[in-house]
Structure 1
Amino acid sequence: MLRLATYNVNGIRAAQRRGFTGWKQRCLPDVACLQEVRCPYEALPMEAFAGFHVAYDAGELKGRNGVAVLSRTPFDAVRVWSDQAMFISPAGDARMAGADELSVPDYPLARPLRSFNHEGRYVEVDLADQPLTVACVYVPKGDSLLAPGIRSRDPLTDEQLAGVQRRYDRKMAFLAGFSRHLTRARRAAHAAGREFLVVGDFNIAHTRLDVKNWRPAQKASGFLPEERAWLSEQLSPRTLVDVVRAAHPDQDGPYSWWSWMGQAFARDTGWRIDYHLASPQLARRSARAFVDRDHGADERVSDHAAVVVDYDL
């Protein structure tokens, strides 16, 4: 059995202070994919990764993004969109890996993604002990001019409006390119005799079951019709399967993100925006799929919870 978790940690240093190591000891993942690590290479809390092989792309935007894959067994290959990543051994030895040590895909990076290649949004690994390719992604949050509260007493300035539009456009460009990338990566894994799994924070809730307060959310970034349609286009019984939704077809949630504000966590007023999207044969091998929700608001490691699936391999 392979236990694989995806977890937006909302800053690894803060998460470590709040109990990330305790989560690892309780959950016992074989592979953990992290988003929003948000830490420069030289400042990483190495104790957070003890016992794991790690591939980490911090990106170049200070205090933002950053994706990592942690595995109890070594990697056969590591691919990122930039030309460098950090490798960390289970003993805590860290070194920078340049382009000569990173695997090169058999396909080019989709043109719309090239402006994101320095942002630390994607890392992909081939596991050494399983015929499985695992990709970890952090999709841009985006924005919406229709969002509740966007029309205040003081109208937005032209500069503010331009900023909202720019964030919306960037997310839609990312999604357009990522659709092509997923198809290429999935086919490459299949050609190599591997199953394919992409996990991470997609910043999109797919259906009404995935947002507690779905009516007002229809005007908010993350639940816009075009975003939801994009996610629908990625899913089919022959391409990628939403593993958690397949395990919980009629359940509200299970949510994976709650605002820090108010009583959102206590009332379970959340969004499901963190996913396991698996090739069909791998999806059929899901034995258990769940959100590893913290017990109380004062115990939260992040504003997200880990999404965990046990794959019977």
Structure 2
Amino acid sequence: MDIASWNVNSIRSRQQHILDWLGTNTVDVLCLQETKVVDEDFPRQPFEAAGYHCHISGQKSYNGVAIFSREPLQDVKIGFAPLLGSEVTGDLDEQKRVISGVYMGVRIVNLYVPNGSAPDSEKYSYKLRWLKTLKTYLHNLSKSDTPEFLVCGDFNIAPEDRDIHDPKGRENHIMATPVERQALKDVLAIADLQDAFRKFTEETGHYSWWDYRTRGFSRNRGWRIDHHYLTPKLYAQAQRCWIDQEPRGWEKPSDHAPVVVTIKD
């Protein structure tokens, strides 16, 4: 089973890119982030014609997540509230950042973690609150009827210095502050989730996001912030995890590249 994650930075702007990529990468499941479109305007038809079922949760101009799957997902859940209740979730589901469903007996959780803007900002505090709620969400999920799950998406956190082209000063840089990294560790520890990419690749120099503004891609000045995290059984079954940099070099690309994991059925 091949599962891909890709922050496309607008589904309508990158529609043809996604179709072209799916034409040569016939993954079973594609998780998208930053679709940036309300559900009624989501361009379902081209992807359905390509053989995918579209499960979506979007909003206008910002955020938005979707899962495309070869077979329909079972038990689709949107947001934190279906598992935690609105009393716990509060306002966090107003931004469309969480969607999950069961595929071939595995729950796939697709996330778009808040960026946080800048340390000490209100958006940074929101990010930390969101991650704390995610921790509770995954704890509950680990106790559910589908204990094996994969969590993927744009985490907006580089877990280690080797995930950044130049980690100098990173302790004051959004996406790499000690507090964010610890919050991510706490999230993963709650269900003993493991980083699929690092099972196969130890060295630095592998990134999934490159800033538009600094010619980041041409200079490979990137960050690895898009991840697949697996429960122990799935981690043992993982056969490959790789970043496909090719679409980042296409005309008018997303600033992110797809990340793909292969799990033995």
Compute the TM-score of the two structures, normalised by the length of structure 1. Answer: 0.78
Report the RMSD for the aligned CA atoms in angstroms.
2.1
Residues of 2 paired with 1:215 and 1:269: CA distance? 13
Match for 1:252 among 194, 204, 215? 204
The structure whose Rg is larger is 1
- For 1:220-279, what per-residue CA distance to the aligned partner results, in whole angstroms no more than 9, with x for missing partners? 11000001111222335961111111221x211521000112321012111111111110
Q: Sequence identity, in percent?
A: 31
Residues of 2 paired with 1:32 and 1:15: CA distance? 14
Q: 1:300 to 1:213 in 2, by over 3 A?
A: farther
- For 1:165-222, what per-residue CA distance to the aligned partner results, in whole angstroms no more than 9, with x for missing partners? 211111111111111111111221xxx2541111011100000111111113321110
- Residue 150 of structure 2 aligns with an amino acid whose one-letter code is L
Deviation at 1:144, TM superposition (A): 2.3
Q: Are 1:195 and 1:282, in contact at CA under 8 Å, matched by a contact in 2? A: yes
Residues of 2 paired with 1:287 and 1:110: CA distance? 40
**How many residue pairs get matched?**
263
Residues of 1 paired with 2:108 and 2:248: CA distance? 31
Q: 1:110 to 1:34 in 2, by over 3 A?
A: farther
Q: 1:208 to 1:82 in 2, by over 3 A?
A: closer
- Residue 136 of structure 1 aligns with an amino acid whose one-letter code is N
Deviation at 1:295, TM superposition (A): 6.0
Q: Is structure 2 residue 106 aligned with structure 1 residue 132?
A: yes
Q: Are 2:106 and 2:148, in contact at CA under 8 Å, matched by a contact in 1? A: yes
| Secondary structure of 1:117's aligned partner | helix
Per the alignment, residue 108 of structure 1 pairs with 85
Deviation at 1:45, TM superposition (A): 2.2
- Residue 58 of structure 1 aligns with an amino acid whose one-letter code is G
Deviation at 1:82, TM superposition (A): 7.7
Q: 1:225 to 1:69 in 2, by over 3 A?
A: same
| Secondary structure of 1:218's aligned partner | helix
Q: Are 1:110 and 1:180, in contact at CA under 8 Å, matched by a contact in 2? A: no
- Residue 32 of structure 2 aligns with an amino acid whose one-letter code is L
Q: Is structure 2 residue 260 aligned with structure 1 residue 308?
A: yes
Q: Which runs of 5+ in 2 are unaligned?
A: none
Per the alignment, residue 8 of structure 1 pairs with 7
Deviation at 1:281, TM superposition (A): 0.5
Per the alignment, residue 40 of structure 1 pairs with 38
Residues of 2 paired with 1:65 and 1:244: CA distance? 25
